Amino acid sequence: MTKADLVENVTARIARTAGPTISKKDCARVVDAFLDAIKDALAEQKNIEVRQSAYGFTRRGLGAPGACVQAVQGAAHARG
């Protein structure tokens, strides 16, 4: 799933709710901020925990922190 796919998915899910809608541009800003927060936490060797018991899944952590940090750092260096 690409970031664009994630933005599309989140925007569509929000549109199906009874609340206010959000533009793809604003949604992309939120997704960017969210991913940056995860990247920063992983760079600081913090654990990331994602739970959504309402949908029946729980995932503790996102793999080995060192591997994730290396991947994130590699992506950051590739972007310049």
Instruction: List b or e across 40-73, with b for residues whose CB sees 16 or more CB atoms inside 10 angstroms.
Output: ebbeeeeeeeeeeeeeeeeeeeeeebeebbeebe
Instruction: Calculate the average pLDDT of the chain.
Output: 75
pLDDT of residue 63: 47
Q: How many domains does the chain have?
A: 1
pLDDT of residue 54: 56
pLDDT of residue 31: 93
Stretches in the chain below the pLDDT threshold 70: 52-80
Print the domain residue range for 27: 3-79
- Residue ranges of E strands in 34-79: 49-52, 57-60
pLDDT of residue 50: 76
User: What is the value of pTM for the model shown?
Assistant: 0.59
